[in-house]
Amino acid sequence: MPGTLYIVATPIGNLEDISLRALRVLKEVALIAAEDTRHSRKLLNHYAIATPLVACHEHNEEARAAQLLVRLQDGADVALISDAGTPAISDPGYVLVRRCRAAGIRVEAIPGPSAVTAALSAAGLPCARFAFEGFLPAKKKAREDLLSALRDEPRTLVFYEAPHRLAQTLEAVARIYGNERPVAVARELTKKHEELFSGSAGDARRHFSGEVRGEIVLLIAPAEKAAAEPADVTAALRRLAAQEDLPPAELVRRVAKTTGVARNAVYQEYLRLKGEKA
């Protein structure tokens, strides 16, 4: 029987943030594929895990995936870990997972730490819906083009950012999104010098104007839907009434949904227009 590929989430800082199931799997598998074997050895040594390690990172993932697939087809169980958090989430792992699934190898997730969800849960920004964009582009123009394209995104935006670029990025956020757009910056989550800043984009730019160190998660609040002008509601009512023969309640409901104006206000405008025709 072929083996199983386990996708094992590991701590993003505090070594205690690992599940009992993850520890058991790391001890029982035949091999652990790690993004950086030197980094992962510290975690394994801490928990007295002697399972052999091999490197699987962005520079060798294609070749390593082929080798690991052979081991799995021969019946060996393999665990995939990254330096921190959940593999394949802005980390190596996608290529190996894709090949295993295509070959009929069982892939099993061992869930756990993730900087994205940790930051979202503590930031105080809307998190029922969010858009994770991974690392922002390193080059200024590409970075600002992406931020501009996402300016009206109705979900909370989540990015990873390098500490030496954070000041430039926050300046761009304040300029493109406005100084008052709420943001949060999570730095060194679960580590000794953890910091979670929340405030306006302008305040964040000033707060992080000096030297910054550590792993960064940047969150930007959703764009607020602009309130429709009375003329917009009137035009929408007239346009929809001309296009379809709808009952008044359905007409009001649709216009309220498309304009973001309260149904009662739309209904009052509907009555006014109806009175004009009388």
Q: What is the mean pLDDT of residues 190-208?
A: 97
How many CA atoms lie within 13 Å of 205's alpha carbon, on the beta-carbon side? 18
Q: What is the mean pLDDT of residues 87-94?
A: 91
pLDDT of amino acid 228:
65
pLDDT digits (tens, 9 = 90+) for 211-266: 999 999 999 999 887 666 777 889 989 988 888 888 999 999 998 888 878 888 88
pLDDT digits (tens, 9 = 90+) for 57-72: 989 999 999 999 999 9
Are 263 and 241 within 8 A, CB to CB? no
Distance CA 30, CA 159 (A): 35
Q: Are strands 31-34 and 78-81 parallel, antiparallel or unpaired?
A: parallel
Structure-block tokens of residue 220 = 């930007």
pLDDT of amino acid 260:
78
Q: Cβ–Cβ contacts within 10 Å for residue 248, how many?
A: 12
In this predicted structure, which of 25-29, 155-159, 269-273 has the lowest mean pLDDT? 269-273
What pTM does this model have?
0.79
pLDDT at 52 > cutoff 90: yes
pLDDT of amino acid 17:
97
**Residue 198, SS3?**
strand
